[in-house]
Structure formats: C-alpha cells, structure tokens
Structure 1
C-alpha cells in the first residue's frame, strides 16, 4: 500500500467538500476534475470507509440563532482522565465542541454557547463538577476557517 492514502483526485474531492459540502455535488467535482460523477461518488464512499471523511457538519451562526456568547473555556484535566473528561464535557448543555490538547496543563479546550453570563457560569460549574479545572475563559468574537491548503490542487 502507498504511504499516501490519497491521490490528487481524492485531495480535490476533500478540498471541495471542505469548501462547501452542502452545495457541492459529485457532478460539480467531476466536471472540474475531468472524471465521471460515479467515479467521484465511489471515491467519496472509499474516503468514508477509510475514515478520512467522517462527517458533514453544518456551520452554525450561534449569534443569529440567539446565542450571543461563544466562549472558549481552557481546562486542565489529569492526563489519565483527559479523554474521558473531554467526552463527558460534550454532554454538558451548551457545550458545542471539545478538543484534547497534547500538553500537561491546559489540555482540554471547550467551546460553549450561551445567551447570558448565567449560562456560561452554569457551564463552568458543570465542567468543574466533572473534574475539569478551569484555567481561563475567553469570549470569542469571530472565528474563521477554510480548507486545508494542501488539498487545493488548483492553487
């Protein structure tokens, strides 16, 4: 098996889906890549089976949805418990994302949404009750993302 699990067509597919999976069809990708739509659909299925593609998540504008406060809560978890605590943090109402960080401290980052300070206080208390030590809390003003450049085979 090749060291690189993806070829240029796979990269093009992943880049297109990262750019806008909802509005990008297999036919659109096929036209740009010069292959058939069925080839693209087969490649997408193979990328899913390999675990390279694992989901198609909508991008939510929380402020427009009535949740004006998006916050990053930086926590420390004991290394042996980090993964379990991170997964448990996802169950706290208002938590929308959790990242495990490979450091000894400040090793769990929690994104949470709320309508007011009371929501954020409750979330902090719930995380603390799980066993996460809260180190810092920062309100997020804006967040920007784009597809990984390596996948942009046209650039």
Structure 2
C-alpha cells in the first residue's frame, strides 16, 4: 500500500474530525483554517478515496443501554490464520471490535459487550469454536479517546512546512 503524504490542511482536517466528526462541519473547519468549505469537503473526499479516513465510528456508553460488561478478550491465533480469525470474530454477536497484533502470543484482542456473565461465556465459546485460544479476559471500566496530537493545529509538521496549500486551493 503506497504511503499518502499529508500536508498541513490534511492533518488539520483529520484532527478536527477525530475530535468530533458528528458535530464538526466542513464550514467550521474551513473558517478556522482560512480556506473555503468546498476545499475542506474536497480534502475529506480525497482522504476517503485514498483510504486515509476509513469509516465513522461513535463512542457508545454500553452500560447506559444495559450492557454493563465491557471486556477485552486476549486471544492467541496461529500466525497463518491470524488475519482471517480476527475478521471472523466480528461475526460473533456481542463483539464490537478486533485488533490483530503482529507480535506476541496474545495476537488478537477482541472487544465485546454483554448484559451478564452468560453473554460473555457464549462469546468465549464462540471465539474458541473459531479456533482461538483465550488467554485472558479483562473487564473495562472506562475508555477514553482523543485525536492524534501530531495532526493538531499547534504541532510542528514532520515534513516541509512549505507544503501548506494556499487558501481556496482546489
């Protein structure tokens, strides 16, 4: 996969969308950066087309809707099957994400939610039936997110600062 170089505007758009994509408009980003809203919309489209921005995820408080057991399940998968097994976990009811790791024995981390211990037991059985070995399970109390700070407006760019687009480019 070829690397996509980001300029200052790209980084700023990503940062602002990571802060709160649901309530941040292209017009707001444009006004804060000093470009036109169409420039920001075009950048967002290009970042999506280039697979830099993938999806639009929301942070759900599962406990408020009756799923008080929010857990990370650490699994071991055979290396040749690791990627496919990580993807297969997403078909299990209650699994909300899976992370495939390149190193270590616990090479798949599955995030799952359930109402009670029976839900988590069923999820564990379903993971085992895929061929995953469950190494450990941890209940999560809280999870916090923030945008990647190097994309923020106060950070120095890691590449040439002269790559900033002129206002109303595109």
Q: Where on the TM-score scale, by shorter chain, does this alignment land: which range?
A: over 0.9
- Residue by residue over 1:16-60, the C-alpha shift from the partner in whole angstroms, topping out at 9 and shown as x without a partner, is 000000000000000100000010001111111111011111211
Larger RCO of the pair (alpha carbons < 8 Å, separation 6+):
2
How many Å separate the matches in 2 of 1:108 and 1:136?
11
The answer for the alignment partner of 1:145 in structure 2 is 145
* Alpha-carbon distance, 1:4 to partner: 6.0
Q: How does 1:5-84 map to 2 (within 5 A)?
A: 5-84=5-84
Give the C-alpha shift of residue 95 in structure 1: 0.3
**Unmatched segments (≥5 aa) in structure 1:** none
| Structure 1 stretches of 4+ moved >2 Å | none
Please state how far the C-alpha of 1:154 moved relative to its aligned partner. 2.7
> Which residue pairs with 1:118 in the alignment?
118
Preserved CA contact (<8 Å) 1:79 1:104 = no
Instruction: Provide the C-alpha distance between the structure 1 equivalents of 2:103 and 2:121, rounded to a whole number of angstroms.
Output: 26
Shift of 1:133: 0.1
Q: Are the counterparts in 2 of residues 73 and 134 from structure 1 also a CA contact under 8 Å?
A: yes
Preserved CA contact (<8 Å) 1:75 1:133: yes
Using structure 1 for the length normalisation, give the TM-score.
0.96
- Segments of 5+ residues of structure 2 without an aligned counterpart are 156-170
Partner residue in 1 for 2:164: none
| Equivalent pairs, count | 153
